[in-house]
Amino acid sequence: MLVMLAGVFGLTYGSIKVLIGAYGYLAIFALTALEAVFPIPSEVILPLVGYFGATGQINVFAGFAIAIVGSMIGMMTEYYFAYFLGKDVVYKHLHFFHIKRRSLESFDRWFARNGRLTVFVSRLIPLVRALINFPAGFAKMSVRDFFFYSLAGSLIWSGLLVGFGYYAHGLVVRSLYYLVIVLAVFFVALYVIYRVMVRKIMEELKK
């Protein structure tokens, strides 16, 4: 399931694992910074940060901190891109960001209604995380608010995924059977969260 999820978004689980294993902190920084622009899922990157931390190849706390810094740089880059260039220019070049115009327009309307809460909550939703940067920039949201609520949500999201990867290593050592069960439950939970939140957003847009 983990391999399938990574493959859908571009880089495979194996290639991401090789990059982090070979380049350590540099790979973590680059992958998390590029997550906002390219289809590189944090759902794969961050558990691997925890996993390599558990094996002793990197310091898990340093890896976590670097992942947060990279992620915030990627988010802020897209935010400023939308803030200064404006909606019309960005819409003409959405193909560079692997984002559909219809999806962005939906989140643009959602953001107009819910503002800061949207930024925070979006950081906790798989697949949706990368969509909110543009609407926030379009709306000229306060830089301080965008940074603060993005950071708060990202700390929670990243902490959960890095922690999952760290403790999943122990399950590999004990039993592959238990690891498969935990992975299945974990990704089913992510999918359920995604479906529930997207449905809620779409219902709000229809009001």
Which pLDDT tens digit goes with each residue over 69-107?
999 999 999 899 888 887 777 667 666 666 666 666 666
Q: What is the mean pLDDT of the chain?
A: 76
Report CA-CA distances (Å) from 74 to 4, 10, 37, 52, 68: 24, 18, 7, 23, 10
Q: Is the pLDDT of residue 42 over 90?
A: no
Q: If phi over 0 gives left and psi between -120 and 50 gives alpha, with beta otherwise, what is residue 56?
A: left
For residue 20, the number of C-alpha atoms closer than 13 Å in the C-beta half-sphere is 31
